[in-house]
Chain A
Amino acid sequence: AQKVTQAQTEISVVEKEDVTLDCVYETRDTTYYLFWYKQPPSGELVFLIRRNSFDEQNEISGRYSWNFQKSTSSFNFTITASQVVDSAVYFCALSGTNTGNQFYFGTGTSLTVIP
């Protein structure tokens, strides 16, 4: 079964603090993809990153970084020096080649950055 768990429902940080959003997944697929999406108050899902199951290299993009560890089935997302514009709901998602590539989303983590 495919499952994504985001245990943190809500997080509040003060601007310029670093924050890590946790994501744990379950899958029987040997080939799968992990994603992070940002959903601002406007409602649109904004693509942030996609990783495939064969690439465990961490990735950094500006203030964003991702830590993918297959050993713990985790794909955590860190925002460095958070800004008010980072306030949104963040979703981790899983897509597997044996399940029609549909997305399985976590329940999301609502991040509030306080100025």
Chain B
Amino acid sequence: EAGVAQSPRYKIIEKRQSVAFWCNPISGHATLYWYQQILGQGPKLLIQFQNNGVVDDSQLPKDRFSAERLKGVDSTLKIQPAKLEDSAVYLCASSLGLQGLGGYTFGSGTRLTVV
């Protein structure tokens, strides 16, 4: 079974620029998550999708962050404009359903550096 695919693996941008990350979950996984992991901290949920609908985006900084999962499969996370404090690893995860009982599978993440 293929894992959760994320791209790019690394990205360096200047502050105030825009950036987008892509995630392709495991086939058949209805639930998709984006997490932000700042260096030295545990991952923090940004947004959770069930198919193409948003379940939870309470911790997403909506003034600069946006995410979509238009066809209920892959997803993009965008930051516009980026700030220095957005430097982090952005992890995508997927699970079979909302319960996550089948376990979550995380991608390798995109490491963003804002300079």
Contact = CB atoms under 8 A, between A and B. Distances in A.
Contact of B42 (A43, A47, A91): A91
Contacts of B35: 103
Interface residues of A, number: 22
Interface in B18-48: 31, 33, 35, 40-45, 48
Interface in A90-110: 91, 93, 95, 97, 100-103, 105-108
Interface stretch (B68-76, B77-85, B102-110): B102-110
25 contacts: A33-B101, A42-B108, A43-B109, A44-B107, A44-B109, A45-B91, A45-B93, A91-B43, A93-B42, A97-B99, A100-B48, A100-B98, A101-B31, A101-B100, A102-B33, A102-B45, A102-B56, A103-B45, A105-B43, A105-B44, A106-B42, A107-B41, A107-B42, A108-B41, A108-B42
Given A43-B109, A45-B106, A50-B103, 17 more contacts: A33-B100, A33-B101, A42-B108, A43-B111, A45-B93, A47-B103, A47-B105, A47-B106, A91-B42, A100-B48, A100-B56, A101-B95, A101-B98, A102-B48, A103-B33, A105-B43, A108-B41
